[in-house]
Structure 1
Amino acid sequence: MAIDTATLETRLAEAETALHELMVGQSVTVVAYDGHRTEYGPGDETRLRRYIQSLKRQLGQLPSGRMSRPVIF
């Protein structure tokens, strides 16, 4: 089942708002859609960022496939 662009954009906006709230110190943020409710706490920042990247990829805002990582020496 394909998700329409408007739904993906709404989810992306909600996820970005949740990340912002998390970054400014709100202890728990909630993203809800299609009867699903997900809570993100301070320890979930990485998971929330991955979710945002996934949504952006589905919207064509990021290249598909594996993201490159910086080389650290």
Structure 2
Amino acid sequence: MASLQERLTEAQDALHDLVIGKAVVRCRDADGSEVTYTQATRSSLMAYIAKLERDIAASSNAAPCYAPMRLIF
């Protein structure tokens, strides 16, 4: 299964193709199924990209690691 970053890259590439005039693009959804986007559904693709970006941000901020504290008296 593709990582979140790989899916984001694929979705961004698909959006780029739509922006430069390609009529139909395809990419894999989170569950692995292939989704087809057109100019009419470009906003759905943009929402999917935003969701992937939020998921990546949430997974990278899940557990901050702090250095041990040292008390000096």
**TM-score surpassing 0.5?**
yes
Equivalences, count? 57
Structure 1 stretches of 4+ moved >3 Å: none
What does 1:9-20 correspond to in 2, within 5 Å?
9-20=5-16
Structure-2 residue corresponding to 1:52: 49
Q: Distance in 1 between matches of 2:32 and 2:8?
A: 17
Shift of 1:32: 2.2
Root mean square deviation, CA, Å: 2.1
- Aligned residue for 1:29, secondary structure, equals strand
Which of structures 1 and 2 has the bigger CA Rg?
2
SS in 2 for 1:30: strand
- The normalised TM-score by structure 2 is 0.70
For structure 2, list consecutive stretches of 5 or more residues without a partner in the other structure. 59-73
State the TM-score, normalized to the length of structure 1. 0.70
